[in-house]
Structure 1
């Protein structure tokens, strides 16, 4: 099944709150005929757009191909959270690669947050960065672990932006009695993800990158000089960057063996007005400790944007039903609240939930599999891909050195095996284990 078309209308954004409130950007033409470029980029999300921007700023002739609209995929549909650290915690990373490399990976993650903030400011993007992400714990054991980890980050990494919360503190912040404690990360934050993607697109185009929408790649001839085919055009490039993430499909089997698409869902309530302060008393985003994570924040017009739910098929389920259940578990007081928007999207995960940086073919680089931690890291990935294209590969090689196992069963069997695993972990969530 081609996920580019399984759940969405060709060339259109999903009916999301983000699409309804996006900043207008003139469309970019589809690729027509044959062209040459220093670098061809496949995928118009954060990774591809950031790579296009940074390469164009270095003087490269860049062609970017997007199958639908720029920011169409996970980059324009996600929860908008710009988190700290890597997707795995530093304990895991230290055990995997050692203390020295773990500190370098922490520094990269910190740079990724700063890069998002700096790009918004330096390119005058129509996007506001709101500081603060709260982490809400369901059990006392999770609270103890969260607080101990905050102490570790302060002690070993000098990270002093975490505010610890007890039961009263988390409940005063969230307006729900289901959580036992947590923390607020004051240096993390959240934003309008689609407007950020469109801001990157405008910046890349202004820098000289040639961007093409409605230009789905149907074949790639890999080799010393990659040739990229769409239905109506061809790009002959010196180098290729694969930035399709969960929508890459069968274009790169070597990437697909380690990076797998899954779906996630978000809904937006009607504007809550004065009730919004009873939902979140501060303008922070929230993510909880469920394996199937619940995450939410308030929009600028005081809607609750709540993400979560689970689905074990490539096609989207009844989205309102899927997300309303976990939302009402947290906020039963919203039972009679109208839902104005509901949408799904495809992201990509890896076996170990760390991003997959790889050189799958000659003169080809790829970064994907951000596993729900992609707003900041995908932006930095684009910059790192640009560096590696220019033969400055130290940071790319550091990311590529992370252990990245293949999914068991290969591409054909990875999905049913993931279903079994996700069913088990979601059952643990429901049982409170």
Structure 2
């Protein structure tokens, strides 16, 4: 029986509910395949609109990327602002960005409304500037303000060093939108809320067959079957060969996280703030102080495998490149996980058959965008809302199979080399 991997989140999570495996036949308005934050968020949005919902999950609620990520909740997309502006045009790009801002507010409000123990830290975020080029940072500030209404504040190196005690950064961009939290607790809290509104959740219920044609849909597992009017598929890096049209449009990409031992007062010798932090490189690090004075540090991606050898040592080396004063600090845990990356790095939302929807493809930026697509697909199914069509330009593009995986790894290595040259 699959359980959560041994991560900091699994070790510190509040006690969760063990949902049963599906046994026998059950009927519902909407069957959701996937118990990560995309499926859970959509399920809650549907239940709030009065629909009966069944969620089937192959492992545990929040088992994949939803329960083992960095815990950053912020507006925006993995594809980046420039890509969105170029593809969607000024009006639709701004509308999409505003939807992610609304999603961040929705997550924060759900934490309060449903008393979810997600431990939110409403600090905003800082982007540490890796290169000594404030003009480049100010150009980004201007671009984001003019096109998306995003207000950023430039902190020169002297100010940034009050909070991040390192010589690695040449300044920082601060944004007050966003927060960080305990993602597994949030996922469990959304699941519990959904169940409280009448939703049925089934764990350890891997889907073995889909019948999606016709007015009645059937979702089959080893132990049972869900009969539904509508099916919503919400899978990510672990989709495997579930549905070929969807599977070939996602590339599983591994990323990694570690946590240090508790640092106590020593934490302030490196990180003297509660901000979530990332840096300006393509191959960026992201990190944040935890409530128990540990540092959670994430970074790096690979296209092959999610559990490389010497993972803790590799991530620790990345941390010491920024904070050499932590040279004797121990790493207590390190883990990996798979994200679902589309070729265009944008969320994918639409129908593959009548009343067969999909929400997927968050590419490492899913805390906000899962809530966004959950709301969009729920309002589309129940109310006929057409806002989801803002994502039509980002469809089910083939990711290239194995050659695409090799190509993606080569592109990543090339970007790493450029980061090194520019840094």
**How high is the TM-score relative to the length of structure 2?**
0.94
**Does the 8 Å CA contact 1:223/1:363 hold for their aligned counterparts?**
no
Give the CA deviation at 1:17: 0.8
Please give the alpha-carbon distance, in whole angstroms, between the structure 2 residues aligned to 1:365 and 1:138.
41
Please give the alpha-carbon distance, in whole angstroms, between the structure 2 residues aligned to 1:277 and 1:230.
50
What are structure 2's unaligned runs of at least 5 residues?
none
Secondary structure at the residue paired with 1:296?
A: strand
Matched, 1:313 2:313: no
Task: Select the residue among 387, 396, 407 that pairs with 1:395.
Answer: 387
Task: Tell me the residue number matched to 2:21.
Answer: 30
Matched, 1:179 2:173: no
Matched, 1:166 2:144: no
**Does the 8 Å CA contact 1:147/1:182 hold for their aligned counterparts?**
no
Task: Tell me the residue number matched to 1:353.
Answer: 345
Matched, 1:290 2:281: yes
Matched, 1:422 2:412: yes
Matched, 1:300 2:291: yes
Task: Select the residue among 245, 253, 256 that pairs with 2:236.
Answer: 245
**How high is the TM-score relative to the length of structure 1?**
0.92
Dislocated runs of 4+, deviation >6 Å = none
Task: Select the residue among 188, 192, 200 that pairs with 2:182.
Answer: 192
Task: Tell me the residue number matched to 2:271.
Answer: 280
Please give the alpha-carbon distance, in whole angstroms, between the structure 2 residues aligned to 1:226 and 1:413.
34
What number of residue pairs does the alignment pair up? 420
Write out per-residue CA displacement over residues 265-291 of structure 1, whole angstroms, 9 at most, x where no aligned residue.
111100011111122211011011222
**Does the 8 Å CA contact 1:82/1:189 hold for their aligned counterparts?**
yes
**Does the 8 Å CA contact 2:253/2:341 hold for their aligned counterparts?**
yes
Please give the alpha-carbon distance, in whole angstroms, between the structure 2 residues aligned to 1:321 and 1:230.
40
What are structure 1's unaligned runs of at least 5 residues?
1-9
| Higher mean displacement: 249-258 or 109-118 | 249-258
Secondary structure at the residue paired with 2:352?
A: coil
Task: Tell me the residue number matched to 1:325.
Answer: 317
Matched, 1:104 2:95: yes
Task: Tell me the residue number matched to 1:7.
Answer: none
Secondary structure at the residue paired with 2:91?
A: helix
Please give the alpha-carbon distance, in whole angstroms, between the structure 1 residues aligned to 2:408 and 2:81.
25
RMSD: 1.8
Trace 1:64-213 onto structure 2 (pairs within 5 A).
64-130=55-121, 131-141=123-133, 143-160=134-151, 162-213=152-203
Please give the alpha-carbon distance, in whole angstroms, between the structure 1 residues aligned to 2:120 and 2:304.
34
Give the CA deviation at 1:153: 3.2
